[in-house]
């Protein structure tokens, strides 16, 4: 029987510490500010942004959501980003992805001042991560590393497999695991005999976006299983990448969906907004 990694509880504890930290900053006349850009009205993005707003209010971060119609021109969006790059009241800028097809995502991410890139997706911040000199990290992998830390899951010398190679989760996750001296295998849609490969791993991080993809055949006894998936089953119920019922009896630690990785992603966004604020105000 696996121990449940309670992301919701850990996120609440960390957010309470952040609230106290923000109170101290405010007494010094410093008010952390975050602006979130939402283009269009994607329901999943709207839900995520609502949860960011709730977390911001709880912690005391000044948060603004700029909601633009889906037909906004790329030029106009870039001009809006530049406006906030130059606004000293905002320390963090986040552009909610995905963007409509007519807007070049890479160009938009490049337009954000790297100092204000609290999502960790700017090529400069990604490059620093690759060089082992991270400043701002992609929030989901960062949240997972905090989970390992909180539950005293030691990674040194362990074999970790990351299933999924996205820029948002898979690639940065592999770098963070490497930095903790894990031996890392990257798996993806072209990987041959994935269940047999995964079964060799001490740690499995699944970020493929396919419901119940990881079954008991992927998991050796005592493995740590981190489920990044956010999927819906045929009844509309939220499920992860991992078949929880099958896998949980074999794992030593496992994250549930919901209340696993999701709350930690938002929490690390808040943490990085506070860190960016301190760097900009005090350095």
Our CA dihedral for 103, 240, 250, 10, rounded to 10 degrees, sits at 80
On whether 164 is known to bind a ligand per the annotation, the reply is: yes
Q: Give the burial class of 283: count Cβ atoms within 10 A of its Cβ; 0-12 exposed, 13-18 middle, 19 or more buried.
A: exposed
50: enclosing H helix or E strand: helix 43-59
Q: Is 250 a catalytic residue?
A: no
Maximum alpha-carbon separation in the chain: 57
Sequence-separated (6 or more) residues with CB below 8 Å from residue 207: 140, 162, 163, 164, 166, 169, 170, 173, 228, 229, 241
Q: Is 96 a catalytic residue?
A: yes
Q: Is 200 a catalytic residue?
A: no
Helix (H, G, I), strand (E, B) or coil at 36: strand
On whether 166 is known to bind a ligand per the annotation, the reply is: yes
Rounded CA gap, 59 and 103, in Å? 33
Active-site annotation holder among 119, 202, 227, 241: 119
Active-site annotation holder among 52, 116, 158, 171: 52
Active-site annotation holder among 96, 271, 272, 280: 96
Find, among 45, 36, 115, the residue nearest to 80 by Cα. Answer: 36
What are the backbone dihedrals phi and psi of residue 250, each rounded to the nearest 5 degrees, phi first? -90, -25
- Annotated binding residues, written as ranges, equal 164-166
Catalytic amino acids? 52, 96, 119
């Amino acid at each position: 029987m696996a121990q449940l990694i309670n992301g919701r509880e850990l996120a609440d504890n960390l957010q309470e510490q952040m609230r106290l930290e923000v109170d101290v900053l405010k007494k010094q006349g410093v008010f952390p500010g975050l602006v979130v850009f939402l283009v269009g009205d994607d329901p999943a993005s709207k839900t995520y942004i609502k949860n960011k707003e709730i977390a911001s209010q709880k912690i005391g971060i000044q948060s603004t959501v700029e909601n633009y119609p889906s037909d906004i021109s790329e030029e106009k969006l870039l001009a809006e980003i530049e406006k906030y790059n130059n606004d000293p009241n905002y320390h963090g800028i986040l552009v909610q992805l995905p963007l409509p097809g007519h807007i070049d995502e890479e160009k938009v991410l490049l337009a954000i001042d790297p100092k204000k890139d609290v999502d960790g997706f700017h090529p400069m911040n990604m490059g620093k991560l690759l060089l082992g000199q991270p400043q701002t990290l992609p929030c989901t992998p960062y949240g997972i590393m905090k989970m390992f830390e909180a539950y005293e899951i030691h990674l040194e010398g362990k074999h970790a497999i990351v299933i999924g190679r996205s820029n948002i989760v898979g690639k940065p996750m592999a770098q963070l695991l490497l930095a903790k001296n894990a031996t890392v295998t990257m798996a993806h849609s072209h990987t041959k005999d994935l269940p047999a490969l995964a079964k060799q791993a001490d740690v499995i991080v699944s970020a493929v976006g396919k419901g119940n993809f990881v079954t008991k055949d992927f998991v050796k006894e005592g493995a740590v299983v981190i489920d990044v998936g956010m999927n819906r089953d045929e009844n509309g119920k939220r499920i992860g990448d991992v078949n929880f019922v099958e896998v949980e009896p074999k794992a030593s630690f496992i994250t549930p969906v919901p209340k696993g990785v999701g709350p930690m992603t938002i929490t690390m966004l808040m943490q990085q907004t506070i860190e960016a604020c301190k760097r900009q105000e005090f350095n």
